[in-house]
Structure 1
Amino acid sequence: MRRKPPAGAVTKAPEGLPSPLIENWEWQDHAACRDVNPDLFFAAESERGLRKHARELLAKSLCGTCPVRRECAEHALGVGEMYGVWGGITEEEREPALHGRRH
């Protein structure tokens, strides 16, 4: 079944992002995290050390059960996501790949 974009939806994606076609984002409907609080995947500004590491381990463990983990990781690397755990990969783990893209 095809869904229509909501009224006022973006019709042109910002540079570097996939176009806003529903087909480009359908994988998210199957994500293990679709009903999980996003705070699990994104650090609070003051979060550091053991607390951050523990949260990332929890996020990565959920990603380990996800049927669209590969698509999520590819998205994060493809668009240069700078924050959060995507596809079981933390921002620090993605950083070398992102810096390699910019040169």
Structure 2
Amino acid sequence: MTRDNVQSGAWKNIGWQDYAACTRPDIDPEIFFPAKKSGSQKDRFTKARNICGRCPVVSECLNAALEQNEVRGIWGGLSPIQRFDLGGPRPPGLTRGRRARRD
């Protein structure tokens, strides 16, 4: 699932997403994909994680991100670096030998 798929609604027939808190019409999907240079990136991550924290399918979301090697956005309440720490793909900009910073 990508930001474009989220915005277009193309992912809606996949199953667990129908129950995801982030799919409610009052939730802006952009908060799950904070712009790197955005001054409010940390605030957007916090908002996204708060939504994930009350989501009934947060585990399914995280598993999907790990299975699909998703390197961008908040999935299952975790940032790309946090997913990398769990064995996910290396996020863009994280070079070899560089320690992953905790968000």
TM-score by length of 2: 0.65
How many corresponding residue pairs?
A: 76
Report the RMSD for the aligned CA atoms in angstroms.
2.0
Higher relative contact order (CA 8 A, sep 6+): 1
Distance 1:98 1:73 in 2: 10
Percent identical pairs in the alignment equals: 36
Q: Which of structure 1's runs of 4+ aligned residues deviate more than 4 A? A: none
Which is higher, the Rg of structure 1 or of structure 2?
1
Aligned to 2:64: 75
Unaligned runs of 5+ in 2: 1-10, 91-103
- Superposition pairs of residues 1-103 of structure 1, within 5 angstroms: 22=13, 25-35=14-24, 36-47=27-38, 51-96=40-85, 97-99=87-89
Unaligned runs of 5+ in 1: 1-19
TM-score by length of 1: 0.65
